Amino acid sequence: MRYDWQEVEHTLQKTFAFNGFREALAFVNKVGEIAERLEHHPDICIRNYKSVFIATTTHDKGKVVTEKDYALAAAIDRAA
């Protein structure tokens, strides 16, 4: 099950659920490659071994949600 992106405390956040740890870890690695390509790096956390929580904000704009965050979110959704 996946939840929609939500703006929470100046971040854009979403949780992705997988069938197990290997799937979650593979997804984290995909997100890392996307973040490197876009030069925009989110906070990523594996929770309960099979859920991946992602939060992104634009630090150089004062820690607010910008178009960079929405572009990253869209790219992450495509990878999922």
Report if residue 12 sits inside a domain: yes
The number of folded domains in the chain is 1
Cα distance between the two ends of the chain: 11
Report if residue 1 sits inside a domain: no
pLDDT in tens, 21-60: 999 999 999 999 999 999 999 999 999 999 999 999 998 8
Going by pLDDT thresholds of 50, 70 and 90, the confidence category of residue 3 is low
Is the predicted pLDDT of residue 1 greater than 90, yes or no?
no
Domain range spanning residue 35? 6-79
CATH code (residue 72): 3.30.1360.20
Q: For residue 2, what pLDDT is reported?
A: 44
What are residue 7's DSSP bridge partners? Answer: 12
Q: Can you give the pTM of this predicted structure? A: 0.91
Report if residue 11 sits inside a domain: yes
Give 6's contacts (C-beta < 8 A, 6+ positions apart). Answer: 12, 13, 14
Is the predicted pLDDT of residue 72 greater than 80, yes or no?
yes
Other residues' Cβ atoms within 10 Å of the Cβ of residue 22:
11
Report if residue 24 sits inside a domain: yes
Nearest to 46 by CA among 56, 57, 54: 54
